[in-house]
Structure 1
Amino acid sequence: MVFIFCTAIAVASTLLAHQFITTYNTEFLRNYFYYLVTFFAFAFYGIWGPIIMRVLLSSIALENEIIKAVANFLPVLGVPFLMISWIMLVKMGFSLVGVNAGNKAIGIYFTFLVAVLTAIVGIYFFVDTTGWLFGEQLRNTEIGIFIVLELGYMILFATIVWKYSKKQDRSHQKIINRFVLFMLLALVVRLVVLPFAFSGPWSLAALILVYFMTNFVPLFFLKVNADMVFVPLHAEHPNEGKKEYIFEKYQISKREREIVEQICLGKTNQQIADTLFISHQTVKDHTHRIYTKIGINSRMKLVQMVNG
């Protein structure tokens, strides 16, 4: 049951993040989408994988040490997902505050990664590390390295945002700082839960559910405040002939046409409501009906249809 809830959280978060990139034209939201996809990929592969493997191997009566060795090695195979998520996290820092970092983000990412790996190699050769790569010690080693890297990249993300956020206007800066704070708090919760999640007993499944939920909180906060931070997609080269064709073909009402015109101008739902003197919910209802009539599901597709 908990696995199903975790799957539901992952799917809902991914769909919501995808909805962002089909509504707002921003590099940050694209980076955020890929960050969430790779985060949940690792969560399934690196956390649920060992637990499920323990259950499967236990059913065929293998020795306990073999089961532990296999289960504890599985998270290593999820490392590629983690590495991509950390790259996205650094890129998110720059793109959230509108800074074109170019190759700078990749440079920062690899510099920190090499520094941490160099420190680990140094410890391995100069300190007694007998048993680091076996049994429970392997799990503890993985957790330790993961915590250092995860915490380090999150601090880099927050530092980049706070360094450049002075360029944002006051309302945007407040929202962005709160988002970063939610991301940091989510990480703290994950780092507390992580050692228990890797241990494997099904009695700790609820803690894994918490691990999955952590990234949903900042995502939901961003959804509530997205219109105040990001500019919606708009028709850069609207074709009046195409618009009229769409209006006639799909029997778009007069009010719905007004909504379409406002969407093409790149206005948010609240701005449309203020312009047309209707409620925010009414705008959402009209927009839903427009999408249903045309057979689309996003602002992006509507904009693409009316662009010349």
Structure 2
Amino acid sequence: MGNLFFGVVLAISLGIGLTAVLLSHRLQRRYRLNYLTSYLYFQVFINVFGIYGVVGQVIARKILTQRGATFETIETIGHFFTFLGLPFLILAWYMFLRLSEEMVDSNLSHKITLAYFSVLGGAFLAYGLAIVWANVSTWSRGQYIGFSSVFTYSYAALVAVALVSGLSELFRRTPVIEDRNRRRAIRFFGMTCFLAYSAALVVSPYADKSGWPGALYVLSFFSANLIPLLSWRASLSKSCAPASLPMTPVGVMSRFVEEYKISRREEDVIRELCAGKTNKEIAESLFISLQTVKDHIYRIYLKTDVNNRVQLINLIQSRGSQDARPPRGSRG
């Protein structure tokens, strides 16, 4: 019964991980926003770490325990699997830091990138050397327990620092975003991330346990990656239009522009909006300031009586649908 429960939980956890990767890929393809690419990479890297560093080491510990392996052997193999997955964990949280910056139209500085990989690259090498040293010098049981405790707290510290750093930057820059709905969505996403990953950290001390405690940790790890993604998907569906109108028919756009008295520059901005670009990308594409883009968008919303991009693009699409509709009484 215990093995069946363990297997079911692992299967569900891996299914959750696969769902997160596929969903993030679908969102990236649908909306084509820069930060969604970072989110996709985060999901790929964090779930690959989950396979090696979480599922792999939990399964190895359970098998070795059932076969009566020594405590030292179980600890060594468990740390070896975690070591294999650690580079993916480092890459994953770097992508999370990038995601946090890009969501608020900013970029991660080169200095922070260099410092991040320098510190964690050194920590990765030190962890590998410690595993080798533990086997060469035949550590005692107490030394293995101490080593495992140090790693557990170091892992929790890495996740906590990356999470807090990314979210603090996210919350700090959110007030400058002019779209109220987007501000609200980003704050909700940030709180969801904080709660989900904090819950996973609470049970992280069970990572080196076999049986149901280890299974609980595996499930919490993979669930923490999916829950914020689901919340952000819901926000995107309400506040962001798919990047599906870059080739709006000339006739449709011309009639739309004429009907709502849209200026030539405002038309340029609308076409960029329909292409799924952020305000910053529009400014760079049209060689105008970010504030000018915001002013154009504000006037466009006033003229068309809409509140966000989704409503604007739906309005344009509705004009195209009306043009494509056959006149009454016509025969197919």
Contact 2:239-2:310 within 8 A present in 1 as well: no
Tell me the residue number matched to 1:211: 221
Verify: 1:232 aligned to 2:274, yes or no: no
Tell me the residue number matched to 1:22: 29
Tell me the residue number matched to 1:303: none
Superposed, which structure 2 residues align to 1:89-108 within 5 Å?
89-101=96-108, 103=110, 105-107=112-114
Q: Which amino acid aligns with 1:191?
A: L
1:91-116 alpha-carbon deviations (Å, 9 max, x no partner): 111101011345355146347758x9
Verify: 1:72 aligned to 2:79, yes or no: yes
Verify: 1:13 aligned to 2:55, yes or no: no
Supply the RMSD in Å over aligned alpha carbons: 3.4
Contact 2:35-2:102 within 8 A present in 1 as well: yes
Q: Relative to structure 1, is the Cα distance of residues 23 and 104 closer, same or farther in structure 2, using a 3 angstrom cutoff?
A: farther
Pairwise CA distance, 1:219: 0.7
Q: Which amino acid aligns with 2:62?
A: V
Tell me the residue number matched to 2:204: 194
Q: Relative to structure 1, is the Cα distance of residues 188 and 63 closer, same or farther in structure 2, using a 3 angstrom cutoff?
A: same
Q: SS where residue 220 of structure 1 aligns? A: helix
Pairwise CA distance, 1:134: 4.7
> For residues 197 and 34 of structure 1, what CA distance do their matches in structure 2 show?
24
Q: Relative to structure 1, is the Cα distance of residues 276 and 52 closer, same or farther in structure 2, using a 3 angstrom cutoff?
A: same
Give the structure-2-normalised TM-score. 0.64
Contact 2:104-2:177 within 8 A present in 1 as well: yes
Q: Relative to structure 1, is the Cα distance of residues 58 and 193 closer, same or farther in structure 2, using a 3 angstrom cutoff?
A: closer
Q: Relative to structure 1, is the Cα distance of residues 137 and 163 closer, same or farther in structure 2, using a 3 angstrom cutoff?
A: same
Verify: 1:159 aligned to 2:168, yes or no: yes
Contact 1:91-1:105 within 8 A present in 2 as well: no
> For residues 179 and 63 of structure 1, what CA distance do their matches in structure 2 show?
44
Tell me the residue number matched to 1:276: 318
Larger radius of gyration between Structure 1 and Structure 2: 2
Verify: 1:146 aligned to 2:155, yes or no: yes
Pairwise CA distance, 1:161: 1.0
Contact 1:25-1:231 within 8 A present in 2 as well: no
Q: Relative to structure 1, is the Cα distance of residues 219 and 14 closer, same or farther in structure 2, using a 3 angstrom cutoff?
A: same
Q: Relative to structure 1, is the Cα distance of residues 150 and 131 closer, same or farther in structure 2, using a 3 angstrom cutoff?
A: farther
> For residues 57 and 151 of structure 2, what CA distance do their matches in structure 1 show?
13
> For residues 224 and 89 of structure 2, what CA distance do their matches in structure 1 show?
16
Pairwise CA distance, 1:72: 3.2
Pairwise CA distance, 1:15: 0.6
> For residues 38 and 264 of structure 1, what CA distance do their matches in structure 2 show?
31
Identity of matched residues, %: 22
Q: SS where residue 233 of structure 1 aligns? A: coil
How many residues of Structure 1 are paired with residues of Structure 2 in the alignment?
245
> What residue ranges of structure 1 are gaps of 5+ in the alignment?
125-129, 241-262, 278-308
Contact 1:17-1:32 within 8 A present in 2 as well: yes
> What residue ranges of structure 2 are gaps of 5+ in the alignment?
1-7, 131-138, 251-272, 277-308, 320-332
Q: Relative to structure 1, is the Cα distance of residues 35 and 265 closer, same or farther in structure 2, using a 3 angstrom cutoff?
A: closer
Verify: 1:173 aligned to 2:183, yes or no: yes
After TM superposition, the structure 1 stretch with the greater mean CA deviation from structure 2, 227-236 or 13-22, is: 227-236
Q: Relative to structure 1, is the Cα distance of residues 276 and 174 closer, same or farther in structure 2, using a 3 angstrom cutoff?
A: same
Contact 2:72-2:141 within 8 A present in 1 as well: no
> For residues 120 and 61 of structure 2, what CA distance do their matches in structure 1 show?
31
> For residues 132 and 94 of structure 1, what CA distance do their matches in structure 2 show?
44
Tell me the residue number matched to 1:38: 45
> For residues 13 and 312 of structure 2, what CA distance do their matches in structure 1 show?
33
Q: SS where residue 30 of structure 2 aligns? A: coil
> For residues 213 and 2 of structure 1, what CA distance do their matches in structure 2 show?
12
Q: Which amino acid aligns with 2:75?
A: K
Pairwise CA distance, 1:168: 0.9
Pairwise CA distance, 1:198: 2.4
Pairwise CA distance, 1:148: 1.0
Q: Relative to structure 1, is the Cα distance of residues 196 and 225 closer, same or farther in structure 2, using a 3 angstrom cutoff?
A: same
> For residues 73 and 6 of structure 1, what CA distance do their matches in structure 2 show?
21
Q: SS where residue 200 of structure 1 aligns? A: coil
Give the structure-1-normalised TM-score. 0.68
